[in-house]
């Protein structure tokens, strides 16, 4: 009898409430990042974000404290995607050059995603000083991951370059620009863009 009452209870469980909150928080983030990418951070308000979701501004504050926190969450999500890309590449089979190629292709995929675009299109100065400092530290982690993959290729002879630092900057700079020019409705799919760009870049690193 007690089990039947629990089965038909109108009250949501703690897990259901938590899942519901996470789903709504994710919806706010997606709406915010798309607004920032389209109109720019400074030209967007939380009222604008709320309007796209059909909710009130106080609803946004239920999930985030202020606009800076929303933006920091968006760019951090982009960093987390790049971290996952680096982790996946480290575990990929093949030579150091193969693993670097894997990372770069994953990297392009992140740049084409909403959060990757926001990461590249957002100047550090758009964030509060503490948030900007944290973001710069996170970016250094990704740069270090890139350099480590290049060094691994140097160690096994599959990569030839006289300057690891400059190579990492050149690769990241080329791929980061994808976040600005790629269009989802363009002639090339995200996979085709990743494959062609990375092949061009990798050619210069392979031994002659």
**Which domain CATH number covers 145?**
1.10.357.10
Residue 2 lies in a domain: no
Residues 6+ apart with CB under 8 A from 208: 160
Residue 7 lies in a domain: no
Record the pTM: 0.84
Give percent of the chain above pLDDT 70: 92
Supply the mean pLDDT for the chain.
87
Please name which of 39, 63, 41 lies closest in space to residue 124, comparing C-alpha atoms. Answer: 41
* DSSP-assigned states of every residue in 87-139: HHHHTSSS-HHHHHHHHHHHHHHHHHSHHHHHHHHS-GGGS-HHHHHHHHHHH
3-state secondary structure (DSSP) of residue 206: coil
Is the model more confident about 206 or about 165?
165
Q: Are residues 27 and 79 part of one domain?
A: no
pLDDT given at position 118: 93
Show the domain range for 173: 67-208
How sure is the predictor about 6, in pLDDT bands with cuts at 50, 70 and 90?
A: low
Q: Quick one: which H or E segment has residue 82?
A: helix 67-90
pLDDT given at position 5: 46
Give percent of the chain above pLDDT 90: 53
Q: Are residues 79 and 40 part of one domain?
A: no
Lowest mean pLDDT among 97-111, 112-126, 136-150, 172-186: 172-186
Residue 79 lies in a domain: yes
Count of structural domains, the chain: 2
Lowest mean pLDDT among 22-26, 112-116, 133-137: 22-26
Please write the tens of the pLDDT for every residue from 89-128.
999 999 999 999 999 999 999 999 999 999 998 888 888 8
Is the model more confident about 159 or about 5?
159
pLDDT given at position 11: 66
Q: Are residues 191 and 123 part of one domain?
A: yes
Please write the tens of the pLDDT for every residue from 29-56.
999 999 999 998 888 888 999 999 988 8
Residue 3 lies in a domain: no
Q: Are residues 113 and 52 part of one domain?
A: no
- Within 10 A of 95 (CB to CB), how many other CB atoms are there? 16
Residue 176 lies in a domain: yes
Q: Are residues 177 and 147 part of one domain?
A: yes
Asked if residues 76 and 138 have their Cβ atoms less than 8 Å apart, the reply is yes
Q: Are residues 132 and 153 part of one domain?
A: yes
How sure is the predictor about 9, in pLDDT bands with cuts at 50, 70 and 90?
A: low
Q: 38-61 burial, b for 16+ CB within 10 Å, e for fewer?
A: eeebeebebeebbeeeebeeeebe
Residue 98 lies in a domain: yes
Q: With the CA atoms of 102, 95, 174 and 29 taken in that order, what torsion angle do they form, in degrees rounded to the nearest 10? A: 30
Return the DSSP state at 12: P
* 195-201, long-range: CB < 8 A, 24+ apart: 195/105, 197/104, 197/108, 198/101, 198/104, 198/105, 198/108, 201/104, 201/170, 201/171, 201/174, 201/175
Q: What angle do CA 203, 201, 81 make, to 5 degrees?
A: 135
CATH number at residue 61: 1.10.10.60
């Amino acid at each position: 009898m007690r089990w039947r009452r629990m089965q038909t209870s109108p009250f949501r469980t703690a897990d259901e409430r938590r899942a519901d909150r996470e789903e709504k928080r994710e919806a706010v983030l997606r709406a915010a990042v798309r607004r920032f990418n389209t109109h720019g951070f400074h030209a967007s308000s939380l009222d604008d974000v709320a309007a796209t979701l059909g909710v009130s501004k106080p609803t946004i504050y239920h999930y985030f404290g202020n606009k800076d926190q929303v933006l920091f969450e968006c760019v951090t999500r982009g960093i987390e995607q790049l971290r996952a890309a680096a982790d996946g590449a480290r575990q990929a089979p093949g030579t150091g050059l193969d693993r670097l190629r894997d990372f770069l292709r994953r990297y392009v995929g992140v740049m084409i995603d909403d959060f990757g675009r926001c990461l590249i299109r957002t100047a550090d100065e758009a964030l509060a000083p503490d948030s900007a400092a944290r973001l710069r530290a996170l970016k250094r982690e990704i740069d270090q991951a890139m350099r480590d993959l290049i060094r691994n290729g140097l160690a096994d002879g599959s990569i030839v370059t006289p300057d690891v630092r400059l190579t990492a900057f050149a690769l990241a700079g080329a791929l980061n620009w994808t976040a600005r020019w790629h269009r989802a409705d363009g002639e090339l799919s995200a996979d085709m863009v990743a494959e062609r760009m990375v092949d061009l870049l990798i050619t210069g690193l392979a031994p002659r």
